[in-house]
């Protein structure tokens, strides 16, 4: 049997729900490929066996090393032919649902050749717990994944207690941008909104509705401006999904009508700590709390 090996991945950034169909086997795979970084972040690190326990013990999370081709691009991608995947002889390929929908023939061909393909992507905190447990079963680390869930919940207790001490009238109204060019936010209940609210913010875009089964919710300028007087803080995730600068937000259409822009309370937050299903969401809560409540009285 082959030993556990490096995970290969590419950054295909999308946000979609976990599919209901997910068949499990009793024996964990010996060699897997992940086509998205958060799968790798939870399964282990480059060149080492899967180890969810390491993620629990490490307080300073490090981004996983990505396996690259000679051209400097990710070594495996959805546009690669079936032969390239078969040559690597994986037992399991982890993808996201959008990738499954976008390249159905590729995955069908691999499955016909006996390779399991699983599409995983949690949107809410509860789904994230199930996602961690699924990865634990896949990698033979069920105990470690359960400990990871328990540690996250335990550390969340402090955040909840701090939030309870914070009067609702002192929780600033926040618009949380997901994609600037589409003027989109996140749907209520999604991980980024959970992080923001747990940090002591109040979601002004509570009426946002997700599109295409994702946690991204189009909002539009008209609705944004209708809430402009109530937006005390304007947050925007930045990263591959949203390559944005503060000055673009500050100089946007009718931006001067937004209270947060006039007060210069516009901040960028790394998407890795607010929109990825890892332990770093706890870091995201602390970072946003300091932005929303800089005096730290609570």
Query: Residue 103: how many CB atoms within 10 A of its CB?
Result: 17
Mark whether 44 and 130 lie in a shared domain: yes
Mark whether 147 and 250 lie in a shared domain: no
Instruction: Report pLDDT for 296.
Output: 65
How many structural domains is the chain composed of? 2
Span 269-286, average pLDDT: 96
Residue 227 resides in a domain? yes
Mark whether 59 and 118 lie in a shared domain: yes
Residue 139 resides in a domain? yes
Longest dimension (CA), the chain: 63
Confidence of residue 8 (pLDDT cuts 50, 70, 90): very low
Instruction: Report pLDDT for 200.
Output: 98
Residue 22 resides in a domain? no
The CATH number that applies at residue 221 is 3.40.50.1980
Question: Could you read off the pLDDT of 184-242 as tens digits, one per residue?
Answer: 999 999 999 999 999 999 999 999 998 776 889 999 999 999 999 999 999 999 999 99
Task: State which of 123, 154, 185 marks the end of a domain.
Answer: 154
Mark whether 192 and 283 lie in a shared domain: yes
Please calculate the CA angle 175-216-76 and round it to the nearest 5 degrees: 130
Which residue range forms the structural domain that includes residue 285? 170-292
Q: Which residue has the higher pLDDT, 45 or 200?
A: 200
Instruction: Report pLDDT for 74.
Output: 54
Q: What is the dihedral of CA 56, 151, 32, 36, to 10 degrees?
A: -90
Mark whether 135 and 193 lie in a shared domain: no
Residue 163 resides in a domain? no
Q: What is the pTM of this model?
A: 0.77
235 vs 175: CA distance, rounded Å: 6
34 vs 95: CA distance, rounded Å: 6
């Amino acid at each position: 049997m082959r030993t556990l090996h490096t995970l290969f991945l590419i950054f295909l950034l999308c946000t979609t729900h976990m599919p209901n169909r997910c068949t499990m086997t009793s024996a964990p795979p010996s060699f897997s490929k992940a086509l998205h970084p958060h799968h790798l972040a939870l399964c282990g690190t480059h060149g080492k066996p899967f180890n969810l326990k390491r993620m629990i013990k490490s307080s300073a999370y490090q981004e996983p090393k990505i396996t690259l081709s000679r051209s400097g691009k990710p070594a495996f991608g959805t546009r690669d032919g079936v032969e390239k995947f078969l040559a690597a002889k994986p037992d399991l390929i982890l993808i996201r649902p959008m990738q499954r929908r976008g390249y159905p023939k590729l995955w069908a061909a691999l499955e016909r050749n006996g390779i399991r393909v699983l599409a995983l992507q949690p949107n809410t905190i509860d789904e994230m717990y199930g996602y961690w447990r699924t990865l634990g079963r896949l990698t033979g680390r069920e105990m470690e994944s359960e400990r990871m869930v328990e540690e996250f919940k335990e550390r969340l207790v402090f955040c909840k207690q701090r939030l309870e001490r914070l009067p609702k009238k002192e929780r600033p109204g926040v618009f949380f941008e997901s994609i600037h060019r589409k003027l989109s936010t996140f749907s209520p209940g999604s991980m980024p909104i959970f992080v923001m609210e747990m940090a002591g913010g109040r979601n002004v875009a509570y009426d946002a509705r997700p599109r295409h089964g994702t946690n991204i919710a189009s909002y539009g300028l008209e609705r944004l401006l209708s809430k402009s007087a109530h937006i005390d803080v304007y947050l925007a995730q930045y990263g591959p999904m949203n390559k944005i600068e503060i000055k673009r937000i500050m100089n946007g259409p009718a931006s001067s009508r937004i209270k947060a822009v006039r007060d210069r309370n516009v901040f960028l937050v790394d998407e890795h700590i607010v929109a990825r299903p890892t332990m770093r969401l706890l870091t995201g809560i602390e970072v946003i709390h300091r932005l929303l409540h800089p005096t730290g009285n609570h």
